[in-house]
Chain A
């Protein structure tokens, strides 16, 4: 199953989005929350993100959903920190909450990494107000 890493500046935000995504996908998931700094403060940390990626990594790959600005930069740095440059890790260009929920369901139903990224990105291209 494709792994999903939820990156936020806030630990509480990452954990809340994780909770919602798991509720949608079901117990048998491969998702991890990665929010805030080691001391609990607001921020993102490339090392923590790298470790989160490794935690859910398999040959199916990992999709990262990140919130704002430096969450993307830290995620990019985390990917560069991976020892093996052939590892399949993609940052989805998607809103973190809607993208994570959409990606979680897609990963759960057996989508490959491309399908999971597409599901996440679709969340950013779809009107909420219908």
Chain B
């Protein structure tokens, strides 16, 4: 399904736990992963390459948690 509303909400909630800046990129568009609306506006469809960039003091933990959620297909079945 790509980044539709529910996973975007989950990513925003996860990203907000961390102090680091969390950015998702699709093609040439980027979005602050702490914003539900901006992530939905990426229009990322299933199978699209997503780039997760995390920068800040807790970047490793943030990358690990959010990256795992994305790789696990947003925990959807």
- Please tell me if A14 contacts chain B, counting CB pairs below 8 Å: no
Q: How many residues of A contact B (CB 8 A)?
A: 20
**Are the CB atoms of A126 and B41 closer together than 8 Å?**
yes
**Are the CB atoms of B9 and A105 closer together than 8 Å?**
yes
CB neighbours (8 Å) of B12 from chain A are 105-106, 109
Report the minimum CB–CB distance from A2 to chain B (whole Å).
Answer: 14
Q: Is the interface of A mostly helix, strand, loop or mixed?
A: helix
CB neighbours (8 Å) of A105 from chain B are 9, 12-13, 36
**Are the CB atoms of A122 and B37 closer together than 8 Å?**
yes
- Please tell me if A24 contacts chain B, counting CB pairs below 8 Å: yes
**Are the CB atoms of B41 and A109 closer together than 8 Å?**
no
In the complex the two chains form, what is the Cα distance from A98 to B36 in whole Å? 10
CB neighbours (8 Å) of A41 from chain B are none
Number of CB contacts from chain A to chain B under 8 A: 45
**Are the CB atoms of A127 and B36 closer together than 8 Å?**
no
Q: Is the interface of B mostly helix, strand, loop or mixed?
A: helix
Report the minimum CB–CB distance from B66 to chain A (whole Å).
Answer: 14
Report the minimum CB–CB distance from A129 to chain B (whole Å).
Answer: 8
State which of A26, A119, A128 has its C-beta within 8 Å of the C-beta of B13. A26
Residue of A nearest to B34 (CB): A109
**Are the CB atoms of A24 and B38 closer together than 8 Å?**
no
**Are the CB atoms of B13 and A109 closer together than 8 Å?**
yes
CB neighbours (8 Å) of A26 from chain B are 13
**Are the CB atoms of A122 and B38 closer together than 8 Å?**
yes
Residue of B nearest to A26 (CB): B13
Which B residues have a C-beta under 8 Å from some C-beta of A? 5-6, 9, 12-13, 16, 29, 34-38, 40-43
Q: A24-B5, A109-B12, A128-B41 are in contact. List 13 more A-B contacts (CB 8 A).
A: A98-B37, A102-B35, A102-B36, A106-B36, A109-B34, A119-B36, A119-B37, A122-B37, A122-B38, A126-B37, A126-B38, A126-B41, A127-B41
Which A residues have a C-beta under 8 Å from some C-beta of B? 23-26, 98, 101-102, 105-106, 108-110, 119, 122-123, 126-130
